[in-house]
Chains A and B, each alone.
Chain A
Amino acid sequence: MPPEGFNPLDPFRDPAAAAALIARIGEAWDGPPVRIMEVCGTHTMAIARHGLREPLRSAARLISGPGCPVCVTPDGYIDAAVALGEMPGVTVATFGDMVRVPGTRTSLERARAGGADVRIVYSPLDAVALAAADPAREVVFLGVGFETTAPAIAGSIVSAQARGIANYSVLPSLRTIPGAMALLAADPGVKIGAYLCPANVSAIIGTDAYRPLAERFRLPCVVAGFEPLDILSAVLMILRQVSKGEARVENEYSRVATASGNRKAQALMGDVLEPCDADWRGLGVLPGSGLRIAGKYAAFDAGEKIGVAIAPTPERPGCRCGDVLKGMIDPPECPLFGAACTPETPVGACMVSTEGACAAARRFGVGA
């Protein structure tokens, strides 16, 4: 008898259903393992946390892509955030997982110990509330993320404007997922057989966003939720497509994501943000893969308002994050993995956040 107390997500983690799916996955494909890239850090974490990689190994290789927003944020951005926090009269508000990320000089956590005003918030609207409560201070929110956080960040700017809060601004470092997926698919060094598409991003942008990708690169793209049975079902859907020689967009996460996505969120993003080139730690500058604050909201762009610049930073010697993010090597194949580069002292992007491929491999890896 299991003990008292059940996780409300238990139905998505049912052991018998999982075993049945794993068996069907084995039957669906008997060729060489299909290389399936999960582009979302939450998938990376879920796969590691539930130990899904190993049971699937004969049919599919699950490889981790560049889908952790903290990981792909370049050093120069952290340096700019630290510099802002150290300015008198400026409060930096951020999601929690940014505070330990090292820049070239220091992290926000260490800067805070040295006197910088750095606050952890759970939502950009909490940062607007901080600004409203203390009009004498400039509150800068670190706008890091993908299409998942972008609408909330856009909404915070609209809210601050409507409420006449002039001491709130955002230092944007926003990136978009489908563009990066296309660039990876076009890279001849990257060998991907299919994409496992993120649940949360897809709920915003809609599953149709992957159709050009599936058609142009002939890659099955299956949108999946973050629970074990979601991921296993999606892998089965991918392998059935592969065995029939198909390359379509399919939606395993139909309980939330739709073909056209969340139009309200899209409209908000379209109003406040506009496309730009973006520097991805480990991958370099990918054209058109970022979002910046549109000109009419420049008063809320910390870069414009305070004049802080984000310097380009070179990758560190020996670090093979670029290859990990492209799925070309597994984390332990990097010479720095576990030695010079650990979750406590990360060198590269993938070790930085708990959702990074290397951090997950380090934390959940069973080893020899």
Chain B
Amino acid sequence: MSGERILLAHGEGGKRSRELVEKTIAARFVNPLLAPLFDSALLGAQPGEIAFTTDGYVVTPHFFPGGDIGRLAVCGTVNDLAVCGASPIGLSCAFILEEGLPLETLERVLDSMQAAAVEAGVPIVTGDTKVVERGKGDGIFVTTSGVGVIRNGWRPRPETVVPGDKVILTGTMGDHHLAVLIARNNLAIAADIRSDAAPLNGLLLPAVDRFGGAVRIMRDATRGGVGVTLNELAHGAGRRIVLDESRLPVSETVSAVCEILGFDPLFLANEGKALLVVDGAVASDVVALLARHTLGRGAVVVGEVAEGSPGVLLKTRVGGLRAVDYPAGDALPRIC
């Protein structure tokens, strides 16, 4: 098998396509819902409201410390369900492969997807594979969709956010973003930073189960980081959020790299961190519950909802107050 590459024939529907789907892909994702290989997966009747989400993944390099495109594709979709209070019951995955992709690369991605799916406790139940000509893709693109079932009637309720509510962040910021940038190898920086990519359903859903509507809203702080996610949240709820700079968790290494390159960790992407807005009365109990889970050990109250016009403000360490606005574009290396 070694040295084998993806050919256009793998996507043309003939014998090679069938072999790729059955022997390489389905053989790894093995589960009863996928096994019949029907045109749709039949998920059965469900006890609660259905949540449905989708996301495309184009990250390069395909592998980086702490994760890869496959792990991201599973965790990202599971997390989009989890922050809506939904327990995932089935994922789809669609691959767009570039002619010439080493088969071994695909196999590593598939293994990683299956491992992440097992971690999240969700089966990959349906999928699709297309092959594009060399030069028309970037090796491998993955799109996953996910179906989940809402538990106990919980749902995000931005309208219930009120002054006095607390904002909880489940751990350090920026690890994923910098791990990928460093793996791209154009920062000329070596640092031991690993992506935080992880499925958050096991961390977040118990909080919803226990605290119900006292958990007002949850968001995963992915693209745009905590800064952008909180702005969306604040404007969506029509409320002002005031962050406390001294409580924002950043690892020493991420912090140092940010200082050197002029990045603000508030705007770096995470793939395994969530923000929760909760009733102030239960905030410390929610933090204690989250902190019992491996993925929530660093959970901490980072700010609160305050009176005032909608937006995000930051109380700086040295006693100032300033706005945290949407950045005008991606973080770029600066001149000085």
What CA separation (Å) do A3 and B173 show in the bound complex? 12
How far, in angstroms, from A4 to B254 measured CA to CA in the complex? 12
Residues of A within 8 A of B254 (CB): 5
Interface centre among A70, A97, A98 (most CB of B within 10 A): A97
Which of A14-22, A132-140, A262-270 is the contact stretch?
A14-22
B323: chain A residues at CB < 8 Å are 363-367
Known: A3-B249, A6-B252. A15 touches B318 (CB 8 A): yes
Identify A15's interface contact among B246, B259, B298, B322, CB under 8 A: B246
8 Å CB contact of A97 from B188, B250, B298, B332? B332
Is A51 interfacial (CB-CB < 8 Å)?
yes
A327 at interface, CB cutoff 8 A: no
Q: Measured between alpha carbons, how far is A232 from B188 in the docked complex, in Å?
A: 33
Q: Is A148 an interface residue (CB 8 A)?
A: yes
Please name 22 pairs of A and B residues whose Cβ atoms are closer than 8 Å in the assembled complex, sorted by A: A2-B246, A4-B172, A4-B249, A5-B172, A7-B255, A7-B259, A13-B317, A14-B317, A15-B318, A15-B319, A41-B336, A52-B320, A53-B320, A55-B319, A70-B335, A98-B335, A228-B317, A344-B328, A354-B328, A363-B325, A363-B327, A366-B322
For residue A69, which residues in chain B have a CB less than 8 angstroms away from its CB?
Answer: 335-336
B281 interfacial by beta-carbon distance below 8 Å? no
Does B256 touch A at the CB level, under 8 Å?
yes
Least CB distance, A361 to chain B, in whole angstroms: 10
Q: Report if B42 contacts A (CB, 8 A).
A: no
Q: Is the CB of B298 within 8 A of A4?
A: yes
- Determine if B210 is an interface residue (Cβ-Cβ < 8 Å): no
Using C-beta atoms within 8 Å of the partner chain, give the interface range for chain A: 35 or more
Q: What residue in chain A is nearest B325 (Cβ atoms)? A: A363
A51 to B328, CA, bound (A): 20
A9 CB contact (under 8 Å) in B259, B298, B320, B322: B259
Residue B334 CB within 8 A of the other chain: yes
- Interfacial chain B residues near A48, Cβ < 8 Å: 322
Q: A42 to B319, Cβ gap below 8 A?
A: no
B314 → A minimal CB distance (Å): 8
Q: Say whether B282 faces chain A, with CB atoms less than 8 Å apart.
A: no
B191 at the interface (CB under 8 A from A): no
A287 part of interface (Cβ distance < 8 Å): no
Chain A contacts of B314 at CB under 8 A?
A: 51
Give the one of B249, B329, B335 with max A CB within 10 A: B335
Q: Within the assembled complex, what's the spacing in Å between the Cα atoms of A366 and B322?
A: 5
Main DSSP-derived SS at the B contact region: loop
Q: How far is the CB of B327 from chain A (nearest CB, A)?
A: 8
Q: How large is the interface on B (under 10, 10 to 19, 20 to 34, 35 or more residues)?
A: 35 or more
Collect the chain B residues with CB atoms within 8 Å of residue A52's CB: 318, 320
Which residues of chain A are near B172, meaning CB under 8 Å?
A: 3-5
Query: What residues of chain A have their CB less than 8 Å away from a CB belonging to chain B?
Result: 2-10, 13-15, 18-19, 22, 41-42, 48-55, 69-70, 95-100, 120, 122-123, 126, 144-146, 148-149, 200, 228-229, 232, 343-344, 353-355, 359, 362-368
- Cα(A10)–Cα(B318), bound, Å: 10
Contact status B320-A8, CB under 8 Å: no
Taking the closest CB of chain B, its distance from the CB of A181, in whole angstroms, is 17
Q: State whether B321 touches A54 (Cβ < 8 A).
A: yes
Asked, given contacts A149-B335, A363-B325, whether A3 binds B317 with beta carbons under 8 Å apart, the answer is no
Residue of B nearest to A10 (CB): B317
Report Cα–Cα, A18/B321, bound state, in Å: 14
Residues in B whose Cβ lies below 8 Å from that of A146: 336
Q: Which residues of B contact A (CB under 8 A)?
A: 172, 186-188, 246-252, 254-256, 259, 264, 298, 300, 309, 313-314, 316-323, 325, 327-329, 332-336
A5 touches B335 (CB 8 A): no
When distances are taken between beta carbons in the complex, the residues of chain B under 8 Å from A9 are 255, 259
Assess whether B247 is in contact with A3, with CB atoms less than 8 Å apart.
yes
From A229, which residue of chain B is reached at the shortest CB distance?
B318
Interface centre among A9, A96, A353 (most CB of B within 10 A): A96
Complex: chain B residue closest to A109, CB-CB: B329
Collect the chain A residues with CB atoms within 8 Å of residue B255's CB. 5-9
Shortest C-beta distance, A72 to chain B (Å), equals 12
Chain B proximity of A102: nearest CB distance (Å) = 12
Contact call A122/B332, Cβ cutoff below 8 A: no
> B249: which of A5, A123, A367 is its contact (CB, 8 Å)?
A5
Given contact pairs A5-B249, A18-B319, A120 touches B333 in the complex (Cβ within 8 A): yes
* 9 closest residue pairs by CB, A with B: A51-B320, A96-B332, A18-B318, A3-B249, A343-B328, A96-B333, A364-B322, A7-B255, A51-B322
CA distance A363 to B300 in the complex (A): 26
Q: Is the CB of A5 within 8 A of B321?
A: no
> Chain A contacts of B247 at CB under 8 A?
2-3
Q: How far is the CB of B257 from chain A (nearest CB, A)?
A: 11
- Which B residues touch A229, using CB under 8 A? 318
Q: Which residue of B lies closest to A355 (CB)?
A: B334
Chain B residues within an 8 Å CB radius of A13: 317-318
User: Are A8's CB and B256's CB within 8 A?
Assistant: yes
Q: Which of B264, B318, B320 has the most CB of A within 10 A?
A: B318
- List of B residues within 8 angstroms of A149 by Cβ: 335-336
A50-B320, A54-B321 known; A95+B333 contact, CB < 8 A: yes
Name the A residues within 8 Å of B246 (CB-CB).
2, 15
In the complex the two chains form, what is the Cα distance from A115 to B320 in whole Å? 45
B residues within 8 A CB of A4? 172, 249, 251, 298
Instruction: Give the contacting residue for B336; candidates A42, A100, A232, A362; CB below 8 A.
Output: A42
Residues in A neighbouring B335, C-beta threshold 8 A: 69-70, 95, 97-98, 144-145, 148-149
B189: nearest chain-A partner, CB-CB: A122
Q: How far, in whole Å, are A6 and B314 apart by their CA atoms in the complex?
A: 18
Chain A positions within 8 Å of B316 at CB level: 49-51, 228
Chain B residue nearest to A364 (CB atoms) is B322
Q: In the complex, A27→B333 CA distance in Å?
A: 40
Nearest-Cβ distance from residue B193 to partner chain A, whole angstroms: 12
* A164–B67 alpha-carbon span in the complex (Å): 42
Q: Using Cβ atoms and an 8 Å threshold, which residues of chain B touch A6?
A: 252, 255
> Is there contact, CB below 8 Å, between A95 and B334?
yes
